[in-house]
A = this chain, B = another copy of it.
Amino acid sequence: MGGLDDDIIVEEESEKRSRAASPCGHPEDLYGTQSSHRLLAYSDALISIIATVMILPVAHTKVTNEEELTQSVQLLLTTKIAVYLVTFLIVTVAWAAHIRLFQVIVRIDDCLALLNLACMMLITFLPYTFSLMATFPANVLGILLFCGCVMVIGVIQSVIVLYAFSRPFLLNHQIQISENPTLYRSHILKVIMRVPLICLMAGVCSFILFQLSYVLLAVVIFLPYISQSIAWCRSKAFGQTEESPDSMVFYSLLPSEPLSKERVEAFSDGVYAIVATLLILDICEDNVPDPAVVQEQFGGSLIEALKVYGPEYLAYFGSFATVGLLWFVHHSLFLHITKATRLMGLLNTLSLAFVGGLPLAYQLTHEFPRNSRNELEAIQISCVIIFFAGIFQLTIWVAALHSERETLHPRVRYSGCEHVFMLAKLSLYPCVTLGTFFLTCVLSRFSASIFHLMEITVPVAFLVLRLLVRFALALLRLLFRPNPPDPGRVVEEDATVPFNPLATE
Contact = CB atoms under 8 A, between A and B. Distances in A.
Interface string A46-68: 10011001101100100000000
A49 B273 contact: yes
Contacts of A46: 273, 276-277
Contact of A335 (B24, B270, B283): B24
Contacts of A269: 38, 41-42, 45
A21 interface: yes
Interface residues of A, number: 95
A284 B336 contact: no
- How many copies of this chain does the complex contain? 2
A110 interface: yes
A84 to B, nearest CB: 11
A117 B42 contact: no
A288 B45 contact: no
B332 A110 contact: yes
Contacts of A12: 9, 12
A316 B328 CA distance: 35
A272 interface: yes
A261 interface: yes
Contacts of A120: 276, 324
Contacts of A25: 409
Given A30-B503, A41-B269, 5 more contacts: A21-B339, A42-B269, A110-B332, A114-B328, A131-B284
Interface of A: 1, 4-5, 8-9, 12, 16, 21-25, 29-30, 32, 34, 38-39, 41-42, 45-46, 49-50, 53-54, 56-57, 60, 110-111, 113-114, 117-118, 120-121, 124-125, 127-128, 131-132, 135-136, 139, 141, 261, 265-266, 269-270, 272-274, 276-277, 280-281, 283-285, 287-289, 291, 294, 302-303, 306, 316-317, 320-321, 324-325, 327-328, 331-332, 334-339, 409, 411, 418, 459, 462-463, 466, 503, 505
